[in-house]
């Protein structure tokens, strides 16, 4: 279920880039408060932001956090402010680390691959995996999210592999894009996890998936960074 009217890549225009739909605060592992992020969004001229805090099934603070966002955003009528979350894949079958009650609070839901479950209640050691095995496991977890999880966006696709081995295998990224398009789920264009943004954008132009723009902001200095990098690549100016 898509909560937001995401555009397909080749439909983007310059004004569509003026957002950041992946932001973290000091509620979890970010450095700034909600108020700080809102003020910075206005300073850098964004039109839309989404607070997409890390959550788990046992998270109990999210309703209060969502209420704080809704209260504080009233001071910024020029800015569209979305309540969202980011939760991880639990298995290759679309298991998702968030409850229905938590998701009901959200305007946007990001699904991500972070750790690799071992099927025994723990996690695989990244150092024990060859690059090929690493890529395949991350691919299978991401496909599970796309096929069965209640998400709007696949966050930083191929990002765990990229942080350790460089560019995610293009043939696997293409399959993720094709599945995301089939399911109507946005692929995140992530300035934080893409080692070769131009190559990713070329693939986006070819497959033309729905896309979401996100800096995976943890520091205020990074807010709007994805917008700026895409502008530099001429995205939307066709």
Segment 65-96, tens digit of pLDDT: 999 999 999 999 999 999 999 999 999 999 99
Domain 9-107+126-232 belongs in CATH node 3.20.20.140: yes
Helix, coil or strand: residue 110: strand
How does DSSP assign 58-98, residue by residue?
T--SHHHHHHHHHHHGGG-TTSEEEEEEEEEB-STT--BSS
Closest CA to 195 of 231, 141, 159, 147: 159
- pLDDT of amino acid 2: 45
Report the pLDDT value the prediction gives residue 4, as an integer from 0 to 100.
80
Question: For residues 212 and 2, is the Cβ–Cβ distance under 8 A?
Answer: no
d(CA 194, CA 171): 16
Q: Is the CB of residue 51 less than 8 Å from the CB of residue 34? A: yes
0.85 exceeded by the pTM? yes
| Per-residue model confidence (pLDDT) at position 5 | 87
Low-confidence ranges of the chain (pLDDT < 70): 1-3
**Is 98 in contact with 149 (CB distance < 8 Å)?**
no
Q: Provide the pLDDT for residue 3.
A: 65
The confidence score (pLDDT) of residue 104 equals 96
For the stretch 94-113, pLDDT in tens is 999 999 999 999 999 999 99
The CA distance from 110 to 54, in Å, is 9
């Amino acid at each position: 279920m898509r909560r937001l009217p995401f555009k397909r890549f080749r439909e983007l225009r310059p004004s569509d880039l003026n957002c950041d739909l992946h932001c973290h605060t000091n509620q979890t592992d970010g450095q700034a408060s909600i108020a700080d992020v809102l003020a910075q969004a206005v300073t850098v001229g964004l039109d839309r932001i989404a607070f997409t805090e890390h959550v788990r099934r046992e998270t109990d603070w999210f309703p209060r956090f969502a209420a704080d966002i809704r209260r504080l955003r009233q001071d910024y009528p020029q800015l569209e402010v979305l309540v969202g979350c980011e939760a991880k894949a639990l298995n290759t079958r679309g298991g998702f680390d968030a409850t229905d009650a938590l998701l009901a609070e959200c305007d946007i839901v990001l699904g991500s691959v972070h750790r690799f479950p071992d099927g025994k209640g723990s996690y695989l050691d990244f150092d024990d995996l060859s690059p090929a095995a690493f890529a395949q496991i991350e691919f299978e977890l991401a496909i599970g999210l796309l096929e069965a999880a209640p998400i709007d966006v696949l966050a930083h696709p191929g990002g765990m592999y990229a942080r350790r081995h460089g560019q995610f295998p293009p043939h696997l990224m293409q399959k993720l894009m094709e599945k995301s398009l089939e399911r109507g789920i946005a692929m995140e264009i992530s300035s934080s996890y893409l080692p070769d943004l131009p190559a990713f954008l070329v693939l986006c132009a070819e497959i033309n998936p729905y896309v979401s723009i996100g800096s995976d902001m943890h520091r205020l200095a990074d807010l709007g960074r994805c917008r700026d990098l895409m502008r530099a690549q001429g995205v939307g100016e066709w």
